[in-house]
Amino acid sequence: MIPDSAFALQGLVKKFDTKVAVDGVELAVPAGSFFGLLGPNGAGKTTTLSMAVGLLRPDAGRALVLGHDVWRDPVRAKSLIGVMPDGVRLFDRLDGTELLTYQGLLRGMAPDVIDARVAELLDVLALTDAGRTLVIDYSAGMKKKIALACALLHAPRLLVLDEPFEAVDPVSGAAIRDILTRYVAGGGTVIFSSHVLEVVERLCSHVAIMANGRISAVGTLDEVRAGRTLEEAFVAVVGGRVSTGSELSWL
């Protein structure tokens, strides 16, 4: 049986000491959707995605990738996903080509397939010249792009990306949007967190808004917007700050 949800999060909870970072998150990401996860700083997006892909053990709940439990059946579940985590920890004493090749070998890919895909990914992401540069010497945006290439290399069914557009230049951002749009058109599923509402509005078919460790709104983009802009919907769900106009008068 093929589940309707590419990704199902059920009752995920994570506490850090007394802080409840994620408070019973339930989320079904439909197969073939382009899913944006929004929320203010500290809402619990990264913690949720980290648990969802098997990088952080939940205190309660479970995550299913195409029906496979990430914690009980990790090898199968992880073979189906490509992940670009927050803070991108990479083997940065390798150059770009070596890093991708290493990633492909870990994934059990054939060397000739790896070579062809690495060359293509470096080209599309404008990293060809950086292929022989150590990753530690990359800029923040270049690190994002090589991390995205690592997530794409094995042609996963589902992509989980933490702030993929952060720090990338406009040309690279357009290239990434194009890659992801084609990936979804080809039957893939993407879930990504972002603070860039214009990008989410342009790309996403579905959106969830997190606040205080919970999902406060979820649905198709139009359902969540409900006739408003996404920014208006976000502020309505999360709560805007009311300015008295007198703050920082000393500045």
Ligand X SMILES: Nc1ncnc2c1ncn2[C@@H]1O[C@H](COP(=O)(O)OP(=O)(O)OP(=O)(O)O)[C@@H](O)[C@H]1O
Interaction site with ligand X (CB under 6 A):
16, 19, 21, 39, 41-47
Shorter beta-carbon distance to ligand X: residue 24 or 32: 24
Q: Which of 182, 190, 118, 192 is nearest to 154 (CA)?
A: 118
Q: Considering the complex, what minimum distance in angstroms separates the CB of residue 107 from ligand X?
A: 27
Q: Which CB atom, from 21 or from 63, has the smaller least distance to ligand X? A: 21
5-16 and 60-65 beta bridge pairing: antiparallel
Shortest distance, position 18 Cβ to ligand X, whole Å: 10
| Cα dihedral 50/53/56/62 (nearest 10) | 110
Please report where in the chains the tokens 């083997």 appear, as a residue: 91
Residues near 181 by beta carbon (within 8 Å), at least 6 away in sequence: 34, 203
Closest approach of Cβ 22 to ligand X, in Å? 7
Query: Which one, 101 or 216, has the nearer CB to ligand X?
Result: 216
**Cβ proximity to ligand X, 34 vs 192, nearer residue:** 192
Q: How far is the CB of 168 from ligand X (least distance, A)?
A: 16
111 to each of 69, 100, 115, 128, 195, how far by Cα in Å? 30, 11, 6, 19, 37
